[in-house]
Every structure is written in structure tokens, then in C-alpha cells.
Structure 1
Amino acid sequence: MSQSKFVYVTYIRTTPEKLWQALTEPEFTRKFWCECWQECDWQVGSEWKLMIPDGRVGDSGKILEIVPHEKLVLSWKNEFKPEMAAEGASTLKYEIEPLESSVKLTVTHEIDVPESKLVDAVSQGWPHLLASLKSLLETGEPLVETTKWPEGM
């Protein structure tokens, strides 16, 4: 089957440890990810949930692979949009590579569904969220547009 795939690479002036913390700890994700947070104990096989500020589960899955400060792979199923939920589970991979004074972050989000609605949606969302993450880590402030959950969603 053909697949849909989104890959995004960015360079952030931070350490692998601080980037890992920002990607996994609720107090950080709330700042740049529209007040959302993740519920997980960050162990292989553990359940993972992305919680929407109103208490709904936005996305869910399981931890498939974890190497702290280097790599995180999880299954990802949308839970709040029926047309995307119908596609089933996708795979999200964060790869963190230390450089001299920065970190290379590669985000890959893919699913074995041609012309995936989910991958189309995340292809619009990830660049803005990752730019906000970069801003938060480099300046202490996220982008304003990603600090609140969009009305009506």
C-alpha cells in the first residue's frame, strides 16, 4: 500500500536534554502546543494520550521506541475528528541529534494510507508548533498563535 509521509527538520539552539523535556513534560507542552499536554509514563508499550484543554483526548497511541534525549517513536491515532480517526494509527518519530551549539530535530509522521487526511492535517500543524517550540527554547517565549486551543475545535 502506498503511504502518506511528512518530514520536518529544524535546528534549535538548545541541548538534547532541554528539547526532550520540552517534548515530553506537560508544563512545557502546554506552553507551545495550544495548552495541550501528554499523559504517559514514557516506557516502551505504555499508553500515550494528547489531552485537549477541555479534557477530551485529542490523539492516542503507544510508545513503540524510546531512547531518552535521542529518539521517541509512538503510534498516533486521532480521536476527535471522525474522518482522521477512521484512518487508524499513524507513526510519529522524533529524532534528536546534538550538534556543536544546537540540536537537529527531525519529526517524521507517516501512515499506510494514500492521501491521508491525518498526514495532510499534521503537515499544516507541525511546522507552526515546531516553530513555537524553537522560539520557546531559544527565547523563553512561544509563538502567540500556538498558546491557546483554537475556538470551535
Structure 2
Amino acid sequence: MTTQKTSFVYVTYIASTPEKVFEAITKPEICRQYWGHENVSDWTPGSDWSHVRDNDERPTEIVGKVMEVASPNRLVITWAGASSADNPDAYSRVTFEIEPHANGTRLSVSHEDLERGSGMANGVSKGWPLVLSSLKSYLETGTGFDLSGRTKSA
């Protein structure tokens, strides 16, 4: 039986430069400001990368490999839950296309090869719109959403 796959494509326009958008995705100290995670790697093709929560509760949530880097216009990575890292079939693929636009930068994020109906596909379909909105807010205003997952007291 063949597993059915699904994919998602998200596009946003950001009043910033392609260089700043690329840095916001790849520099841990910037990424944590709008995502509550750090994307950690040396960003060379073939290298490992990990998506690390910026607290001690669940340190590494997502892992993968860097497949392609063409800074500041393109980044391709594989993506799997840390608990599924040993299963080659668990990996999906994320492509960031970053292009100059008259109003700043066009960012397109394609997340492909997800198992249809899986927890990962469900999380991705809800997560990317929120993360990309937070990224846009952060780069345009200096403040992203609090996506750290920490509980705040009133």
C-alpha cells in the first residue's frame, strides 16, 4: 500500500530585503525572536540541521539535512520529527524561495512529501501560517508573536 502524500505552499510579502529574510530563517539568535525556536546548522549542503526550542522542556523537535543553499534566495532542507529521525520515510522537504519584489521581498515556503492525515501534516498546515506571519511582523516592526510555547500568567 502506497502512503498518500500532501504538500503545502505559503507565500507572503515582507517589507525587508532578501538578505534579512534569509538571515531570519538561518540565524538562531534571530529565529528565536519570532519562532520560539532556533534553526541550528552550519548551512552547507549535506549538513545536519535541527529545530531547537529555546527552553529546556523539549530541546530538539525537528531534524533534517541541508539539501541546497543559495543565499539569500533559496534554502532547501529535509524535515522530520526528532522521534522519527531513524525512519527515512518520515522525512518531508521544505523549500524557501526568497525573491526581491517591488514592495520588499516575496517569500514562498513549500513543504512537500508529508504523509496525508499525519500529525506532522496537521501541525505544518497550522504552524507555517503562524510562523510566517510572526516572521513578517518581526522583520517589519521588530516584534514577532510569542511562539515559544511558554505559559504566561495573567
Query: Is TM-score (shorter-chain normalized) higher than 0.5?
Result: yes
CA distances 1:8-58 after superposition (whole Å, capped 9, x unpaired)? 100000000111111110111111112x11210000000001112216211
Q: 2:77 corresponds to which residue?
A: 74
Unaligned runs of 5+ in 1: none
Distance in 2 of aligned mates of 1:68 and 1:59: 22
**Residues of 1 paired with 2:44 and 2:110: CA distance?**
20
SS of the equivalent of 2:90 reads coil
Query: In the alignment, is the contact (CA less than 8 A) between 1:87 and 1:118 conserved in 2?
Result: no
Question: Given the alignment, which residue of 110, 118, 130 partners 1:116?
Answer: 118
Please say if 1:50 is aligned against 2:48. Answer: no
The question of 1:149 aligning with 2:152 is answered: no
Residues 133-144 of structure 1 aligned to structure 2 (within 5 Å): 133-143=135-145
Query: Are the structure 2 counterparts of residues 150 and 91 from structure 1 closer, same or farther at C-alpha, using a change threshold of 3 Å?
Result: farther
Residues 1:88 and 1:150: Cα distance change in structure 2 (over 3 Å): farther
Q: Percent identity at matched positions?
A: 37
Letter in 1 for 2:47: S
**2:23 corresponding residue in structure 1:** 21
CA distance in 2, matches of 1:9, 1:112: 18
Instruction: Give the drift of 1:115.
Output: 2.6
* Offset, 1:113: 2.5
Aligned length: 145
Match of 1:104 among 91, 106, 122: 106
Contact 1:7 1:109 in 2 (8 A): yes
- Counterpart of 1:30 in structure 2 is 32
Task: Name the structure where strand makes up a greater proportion of residues.
Answer: 2
Q: Deviations over 1:73-102 (max 9, x none)?
A: 00001125x7xx896111011100111231
- Which runs of at least 4 in structure 1 moved beyond 4 Å after TM superposition? none
Give me the whole-angstrom Cα distance separating, in 1, the residues matched to 2:61 and 2:18. Answer: 27
